[in-house]
Chains A and B, each alone.
Chain A
Amino acid sequence: MINEEHLAERFAAVASTDDDSDWTDVCHRARNDRRRSTVSLVKSRTRRQLAVALLVAVAMIGTGVTVAATDWGIGEPAPRAVERDFAAYPSEVGLEPMPEGAFLAARDGADYALYATQNRQGGYCLTVRAPWRDPAKLRGGGTCVTRDDAGEPIAVGVVAAGASEPTTGLATHLVAGRVLDPRAERIRFTTIEGDEVERRLGAAGFFLAALQVAPCPPNQSWNPVFLAFDAEGQELARARITVMAADRTAGCGFEVSPHGPYKFDKQ
Chain B
Amino acid sequence: MRLLRAAKEIGALYPLTGVDDRSGDLERLYRERYVAFRNTFTTITGSADAAHDIVQEAFARALRERGKFRGDSSLETWVWRIAFRVASSDTRDEQIEWQRALDPVVPEPTRDPRLADAVRTLAPRQRMVVFLRYFADLSYTEIAAVCGIAEGTVAATLSQAHRTLATQLQEEEACT
Contact = CB atoms under 8 A, between A and B. Distances in A.
A161 B17 contact: no
B123 interface: no
A156 B13 contact: yes
| Central interface residue in B27, B56, B93, by most chain A CB within 10 Å | B56
Contacts of B52: 20, 45
Interface string B59-70: 111011000000
Contact of B13 (A162, A250, A262): A262
A15 B135 contact: yes
Interface string A207-240: 0000000010000000000100000000011111
Contact of B53 (A41, A163, A164, A250): A41
B3 A253 contact: yes
Interface stretch (A55-63, A64-72, A145-153, A195-203): A145-153
Contacts of B152: none
Interface in A20-57: 20-23, 25-30, 33-34, 38, 40-45
B175 interface: no
B135 A30 contact: no
Interface in A97-153: 122, 126, 133, 138, 140, 142-143, 145, 147, 149-153
A177 to B, nearest CB: 7
Interface in B31-59: 31, 34-35, 38-39, 42, 48-50, 52-54, 56-57, 59
B1 interface: yes
B129 interface: no
Contact of B94 (A1, A29, A40, A253): A40
Contacts of A20: 38, 52
B60 A29 contact: yes
B23 A181 contact: yes
Contacts of A29: 56-57, 60
A158 B19 contact: no
Contacts of B63: 26-27, 30, 182
A14 B60 contact: no
Contacts of A28: 60
Interface residues of A, number: 93
Contacts of A12: 134
A145 B13 contact: yes
Contact of B12 (A22, A26, A40, A262): A262
A17 B38 CA distance: 10
A42 B3 contact: no
Contacts of A168: none
Contacts of B4: 163-164, 215, 253
Interface in B94-135: 94, 96, 106-109, 111-112, 115-116, 130, 134-135
19 contacts: A14-B108, A16-B107, A22-B56, A26-B56, A30-B60, A41-B50, A41-B54, A41-B56, A41-B57, A149-B15, A151-B27, A159-B10, A161-B6, A164-B7, A239-B19, A254-B2, A257-B12, A264-B14, A266-B16
Interface of A: 1-2, 4, 7-8, 10-23, 25-30, 33-34, 38, 40-45, 122, 126, 133, 138, 140, 142-143, 145, 147, 149-164, 171, 176-177, 180-182, 215, 226, 236-243, 247, 249-250, 252-264, 266-267
Interface of B: 1-4, 6-7, 9-20, 23-24, 27-28, 30-31, 34-35, 38-39, 42, 48-50, 52-54, 56-57, 59-61, 63-64, 89-90, 93-94, 96, 106-109, 111-112, 115-116, 130, 134-135, 162-163, 165-166, 169
Given A159-B13, A215-B3, 19 more contacts: A7-B162, A10-B112, A13-B111, A26-B59, A27-B60, A41-B53, A41-B90, A42-B96, A45-B52, A147-B31, A151-B24, A156-B15, A180-B23, A182-B64, A240-B16, A241-B16, A243-B12, A253-B3, A261-B13
7 A-B pairs with the lowest CB-CB distances in the bound complex, closest first: A143-B11, A29-B60, A157-B13, A239-B16, A152-B15, A11-B134, A253-B3
